[in-house]
Amino acid sequence: MTTKTDLKNLPLPALEQFLQGQGKERFRALQVFKWIYQQDAHSFEEMTNISKALRKELSETAIISNLEPEAVEQGNDGTRKYLFPLSDGASVEAVLIPIEGRNTLCISSQVGCAMACEFCLTGTFKLTRNLTTAEIVNQIMAVRRDLVKNPPAPSLVAAGAVDDEEDDDSPGSPAAIRNIVLMGMGEPLHNLDNVIPAIRIMIDGNGLQLSNRRVTVSTCGLVPEMGRLGREIPNVNLAVSLNATTDELRNRIMPVNRSYPLKELLQACREFPLPGRRKVTFEYVMLGGVNDTLEDAKRLLRLISDIPNKVNLIPFNEHEGCGFKSPTRAAIDAFHTYLIDRHVTVITRDSRGGDISAACGQLKGKLEKK
Ligand code: SAH
């Protein structure tokens, strides 16, 4: 038996090739693509502007996969966390953060992760496998469906800190996803073969119709892959999880640094093709008593000052079995103020979704323990 092709793995040019390979006209691909992403078609039967014969043929060689969440938890602040079971029994999470009608969706790129950052819960699951392009895109489509059915209540759509383009204040629609961040489970640059086609589908005007200005890829610092991403998808936003300001500490808490030390990582940030006024987001997980002093803040500033930057401070989210502690409020405030006073754009992530274990890998951890 030959396996059927999941059409959600194919950006438009690949879908054209697939249909041409079956002797079909090229324009059919655009019709099918629009049915899938704009009409959310689940089957070929629904594609009424396509002949019955072709629909039947397609259903013999192709499928349109889908994800349905098995658990959705909503936090007091409107944050929604989705757990998606996959066809092989694995599962991944996505988190929706509604802020002033500008919904940001954080999606996963792998089941588990191979990067083994010492503070990260996902890292303790190790890498099970890469997500397919379809599984990445389907997280977005499932949340989009949920948002149409259950738009966030206006009272929950509170003001707060968010990663957003500061040069664009247009209000978002409460039922639409505005920003996609690849900051969920996994290292997206460790799965570029599937992440790149997924981004192409996200930003295709006939696909999910997101602006590439609103897609952010977050990496722990895989330097060669940063180059590849920049070459293949210029204009995408880059976030780098820095988390330490010396190679000594970074080697310890993020093993990737032993392959690509700070100097090389920062050089890759300088070379990343950021258009116009855009900035690299430096994420900095604050670990109490480990990297949260003013000395760290000073070194951080020195490291990033010649790169267009903004800083995302993330107070460490404690989890069982991990020895690190959250920083004190005073340490967070002092670090934040030090950078602000020196004209750095800083956002300190409040622990949104803290009440629903929305931090990296935590819902999955919780359900698997049960
Ligand atoms: N692998 C990618 C994206 C996934 S991690 C990356 O490293 O950027 C997303 C962010 O969550 C990273 O900045 C990571 O440093 C941070 N993070 C991981 N575990 C955390 C925890 N327990 N508390 C707070 N932030 C955490």
Sequence ranges of the domains in the chain: 5-63, 71-369
Of 93, 187, 225, 283, which residue is the catalytic one?
93
Q: Is 73 a catalytic residue?
A: no
Query: In Å, what is the CA distance from 212 to each residue of 20, 201, 236, 238, 338?
Result: 28, 11, 5, 11, 32
Instruction: Give the contacts of 197 (CB within 8 A, at least 6 positions apart).
Output: 9, 10, 11, 14, 133
What spacing in Å lies between the alpha carbon of 250 and ligand 1's midpoint?
14
What spacing in Å lies between the alpha carbon of 120 and ligand 1's midpoint?
6
Domains 5-63 and 71-369 equal at CATH topology level: no
What spacing in Å lies between the alpha carbon of 123 and ligand 1's midpoint?
10
307, 312, 313, 317 alpha-carbon torsion, rounded to 10°: -130
Residue 18, pLDDT > 50, answer yes
| CATH for 71-369, options being 3.20.20.70, 3.90.1150.60, 3.40.50.300, 3.90.650.10 | 3.20.20.70
> What is the reported pLDDT for 367?
46
SS (H, E, C) 305-316: CCCCEEEEEEEC
* Interval 312-357: pLDDT, tens: 999 999 998 899 999 999 999 999 999 999 999 999 987 655 555 5
Q: Which fold has domain 5-63?
A: DNA polymerase; domain 1 (1.10.150)
Residue 157, pLDDT > 80, answer no
- In this prediction the pTM is 0.93
Q: Is 225 a catalytic residue?
A: no
Least trusted range by pLDDT, from 41-45, 127-131, 134-138, 153-157: 153-157
Of 106, 120, 269, 360, which residue is the catalytic one?
360
Q: Which residue type sits at 22? A: Q
> With contact defined as beta carbons under 8 Å apart, do 29 and 12 qualify?
yes
> What is the reported pLDDT for 163?
46
Ligand 1 atom at shortest distance from the alpha carbon of 283: 13
